[in-house]
Amino acid sequence: MLKYFTMTVGAVIAAAVVVGLLRGYVRAVCGRLGGIIAGCLTGLGIVGAGVMAFMKNATKKIDTSQWNYYIFIISLAVLVLLIIAGILRLTVPVFKGKLKKPADIVFSAAAGVECFLAIFYALPDVLAYPYTLLLTEQTALSTEYLFKMIGMVLGLIVMLLTEAAANRGLQRLGPVQGFIVLCTGGLIYGLRVTALLLKVMLSKHYILPNSSAYKPVFDIVKATSNNDIWFIYGLLAVLAAVPVIIWIKSFRQKEPYSNPAEKRKIKKKWKVSRRWADLGVFCAVFTVLNFLVIEPYANRPVELSPVEDVSIVDNCLYIPFGAVDDGHLHRFGYTTPNGRHTRLIVIKKPNSSGYGIGLDACDICGETGYFERDGQVVCKMCDVVMNINTIGFPGGCNPKVVEYTVKDSAIWVPVEQMIDNEAVFKS
């Protein structure tokens, strides 16, 4: 559950902050109509992300890198347009007078397009988790599948709260303060998008290795890829700056009032503002803790059990029942004539005299291997729990099947089976 929670937060956090800042600023300076325009385009982005998730997994018509290339280019162009339009709205009198409504509509539409693109890029992979998990879990009724879906949903809920905190927080700032915060967040997001765009350009060979630009671009991509988390921390710092400004404004507010009712109304307004500010700080701090504490814990390395010695008898791996009848997972190794280290797993099936036997690798996750946790066999790569009774049968994340015989109170696996599958093991 924690793994899919952290994966969801990591995938969506940048979009959540940027969308919240954009929608909040639009609602504050362009009014209800602007909020509706930006909100509709944001909703369209969610629908588009769902369609993209389906197309990526159900068809072979989607070139993800090419789509991302177009998304990043349009996103950067719209960000520049937003900054220019925002400056004009704040400084040119005509955009505050006769042309205010058209200017509001154009600005709101541009902000909505940016929200659409941010969601359209970030959300499809998350929405595809239920489908990709079914490729390994084989059923949506398992407890493990349910827990992983709960992790994904909780991650999306936290991201919705983050978007709401940024949205409502920016609505409570002044036009100039809000625009400064928006530009700061937009600049950080724009730098991240630029780095991602350069990465796609390298992967698609739009910048060739013999080009003079290749080396500096490669160095930039390498540096930003290894330090992408700092873009996220920058956006979270912007998110945390919003409540700080609100708190300062709330304690310094000196709004005039003519009667006690108006005074109570003003106090109520700033009390609500401080609550949204508190939520913004909570979301920023919690997300940082997610990256620093929860994610490392969820992705902590799992030590596989030691590889046990196995005898070679009659050109077969010879495993006596007595060595594997304790109900625990056992791993045996065999080095092929080519020097490739292969592994075999054996576990006695519960309430049965049979054994689950297969390679310590699968068709989906490769040679990452399996480990035992609370009496269950778990794939190290995807954390999918195996049904022990199905080990030895093909399908899903089950271990790759090998032929074997059972005789003389022992398991006999032909050496040829390990040699034939040595390509599965890279080391």
Is the pTM of the predicted complex or chain greater than 0.85? no
Neighbour count for residue 127 (Cβ, 10 Å):
19
pLDDT band for 184, please (50, 70, 90 cuts): very high
Q: Give the pLDDT score at 139.
A: 62
Q: What is the pLDDT of residues 156-170, one digit of tens each?
A: 999 999 999 999 989
Structure letter (DSSP) for residue 362: B
Own/partner contacts of 283-288, CB < 8 Å, gap of 24 or more, are 283/158, 283/161, 283/162, 283/165, 283/239, 284/162, 284/236, 284/237, 284/239, 284/240, 285/240, 286/158, 287/9, 287/13, 287/158, 287/162, 287/232, 287/236, 288/233, 288/236
> Could you tell me the domains of the chain?
2-298 (no CATH), 307-424 (2.102.10.10)
pLDDT band for 73, please (50, 70, 90 cuts): very high
Indicate the pairing of strand 307-308 with strand 370-373: unpaired
pLDDT band for 340, please (50, 70, 90 cuts): confident
pLDDT band for 424, please (50, 70, 90 cuts): confident
For residue 240, is pLDDT > 70? yes
For residue 138, is pLDDT > 80? no
pLDDT band for 111, please (50, 70, 90 cuts): very high
d(CA 58, CA 92): 50
Q: Give the H or E element holding residue 249.
A: helix 228-252
For residue 201, is pLDDT > 80? yes
Q: Give the pLDDT score at 270.
A: 74
For residue 137, is pLDDT > 70? no
DSSP 212-226: TTHHHHHHHHHHHHH
Q: Give the pLDDT score at 389.
A: 81
* Chain mean pLDDT for the chain: 87
Q: Give the pLDDT score at 124.
A: 92
User: What token pair was written down for 311?
Assistant: 């005898």
Q: What is the pLDDT of residues 367-379, one digit of tens each?
A: 888 888 777 788 8
Helix 2-58 and helix 100-122, axial crossing angle in degrees, nearest 10: 100
Q: Give the pLDDT score at 274.
A: 82
Are 183 and 260 spatial neighbours (Cβ–Cβ below 8 Å)? no
pLDDT band for 190, please (50, 70, 90 cuts): very high
Q: What is the pLDDT of residues 264-314, one digit of tens each?
A: 777 787 788 888 888 888 999 999 998 899 888 877 777 777 888 888 888
Q: Give the pLDDT score at 399.
A: 86
Are 162 and 20 spatial neighbours (Cβ–Cβ below 8 Å)? yes
SS3 320: strand
d(CA 29, CA 34): 8
- Of the ranges 111-125, 236-250, 339-353, the best mean pLDDT one: 111-125
pLDDT band for 44, please (50, 70, 90 cuts): very high
pLDDT band for 76, please (50, 70, 90 cuts): very high
Q: Over range 59-70, report the average pLDDT.
A: 86
Q: Over range 89-94, report the average pLDDT.
A: 83
Q: Give the pLDDT score at 266.
A: 72
d(CA 358, CA 342): 11
For residue 333, is pLDDT > 60? yes
Alpha helices in 253-298 (DSSP H): 260-289, 295-298
For the chain, give the percent of residues with pLDDT over 90: 34
